Amino acid sequence: MKNLLLSLSLLSIITNASAQTNQGHDIRINFKNCKDTVVYLAFYQFDKSYLADTCKKVVKGNIVFKGPKSLDKGVYYLVSQDKARYFDFFISDNNQKIVMSTDTIDLVKNLKSSSSKENDDFFNYIKFITAKNKEYNEVKSKTKGMNAKDSLAFIIEKSKLLSETVIAFEKTFLEQHKGTFVGDVINLKMEKEAKDIPKASNGRPDSLYIYNYYKAHYWDGVNFQDDGIMRTPFFSDKLNKYFNNIIIQNPDTVSVEIDRLMAKTKAGTMMQKLLIAHFLFTYESSKLMGFDRVFVHVIDNYIRTGMAKEVYDEKTIEKIKERGDILKPLLLGNQAPDLLMIDTIGHKQINKMGFDTVKTSQGATKLYYDNVQNLAQIFVPLYGVKADYLLLVFWDVDCGHCKTEIPKLLEEYHALKKEGYDVKVFSVYTQHDYEKWRKYIIENKLDWINVYDGVHINNIKEKYDIYSTPVIYMLDKNKRIKAKRIGTEQVKDIIKQMEREYKANKK
The percentage of residues in the chain with a pLDDT greater than 90, rounded to a whole number, is 78
Note the pLDDT of residue 11.
Answer: 43
Q: What is the pLDDT of residue 5?
A: 41
365-371 contacts at long range (C-beta below 8 A, 24 or more positions apart): 365/457, 367/455, 368/455, 368/457
The band of 507, judged by pLDDT with boundaries at 50, 70 and 90, is: low
Per-residue pLDDT of 464-481, as tens digits, reads 999 999 999 999 999 999
- Helix (H) or strand (E) holding 11, with range, is helix 8-16
In 3D space, the residue among 20, 183, 17, 27 whose CA is nearest the CA of residue 96 turns out to be 27
pLDDT in tens, 390-420: 999 999 999 999 999 999 999 999 999 999 9
Question: Tens of pLDDT along 328-377?
Answer: 999 999 999 999 999 999 999 999 998 888 888 888 888 889 998 989 99
Burial category of 157 from C-beta neighbours within 10 Å (exposed 0-12, middle 13-18, buried 19 and up):
exposed
Residue 142: predicted pLDDT: 77
Looking at every residue in the chain, the average pLDDT score rounds to 91
How far apart are alpha carbons 157 and 145 in whole angstroms? 17
How sure is the predictor about 14, in pLDDT bands with cuts at 50, 70 and 90?
A: very low
In whole angstroms, give the CA distance from residue 88 to residue 445: 67
Give, in order, the Cα–Cα distances in Å from 81 to each of 32, 50, 54, 59, 290. Answer: 16, 15, 10, 14, 46
Q: For residue 3, what pLDDT is reported?
A: 53
The continuous run of DSSP H or E covering 252 comes out as helix 251-262
pLDDT > 80? residue 179:
yes
pLDDT, average across residues 247-265: 97
Give the bridge partners for 63, in sequence order.
29
CB-CB contact of 113 with 176 (8 Å)? no
Q: What CA–CA distance (Å, rounded) separates 117 from 119?
A: 5
Q: Are 285 and 3 in contact (CB under 8 A)?
A: yes
Q: Whole-angstrom Cα distance, residue 268 to residue 77?
A: 27
Taking only the tens place, the pLDDT of each residue in 16-62 is: 444 445 679 999 999 999 999 999 999 999 889 999 999 999 999 99
pLDDT at residue 151, rounded to an integer: 82
So what's the pLDDT on residue 253?
97
CA angle 75, 77, 78 (to 5 degrees): 160
- Rounded distance between C-alpha atoms, residue 276 and residue 258, angstroms: 9
Alpha helices for 328-474 (secondary structure H): 344-353, 361-370, 372-378, 400-418, 434-444, 460-463
- Helix (H), strand (E) at residue 158: helix 148-176
Strand order through the sheet with 481-484: 380-381, 340-343, 449-452, 423-429, 389-395, 471-475, 481-484
Residue 472 near residue 486, CB atoms below 8 Å: yes
Cα 163 to chain centroid, rounded = 32
b/e 282-316 (16+ beta carbons within 10 angstroms → b): bbbebeeebbbbbbbbbbeebbeeebbebbbeeeb
pTM for the model: 0.88
Q: 422-466: per-residue pLDDT in tens?
A: 999 999 999 999 999 999 999 999 999 999 999 999 999 999 999
Tens-place pLDDT, residues 293-330:
999 999 999 999 999 888 899 999 999 999 999 999 99
pLDDT, one tens digit per residue, over 118-152 is 999 999 999 999 999 888 888 777 777 777 787 88
SS3 of residue 429 by DSSP: strand
Ramachandran bin of 338, using left for φ above 0, alpha for ψ from -120 to 50, beta for the remaining angles:
beta
- Distance (Å, whole) CA 198 – CA 203: 9
- The DSSP-derived string for 171-238 is HHHHHHTTTSHHHHHHHHHS----SSPPB-TTSSB-HHHHHHHHHHHTTTT--TT-GGGGSSSSHHHH
Per-state percent for the chain, helix, strand, coil, to nearest 5:
45, 20, 35
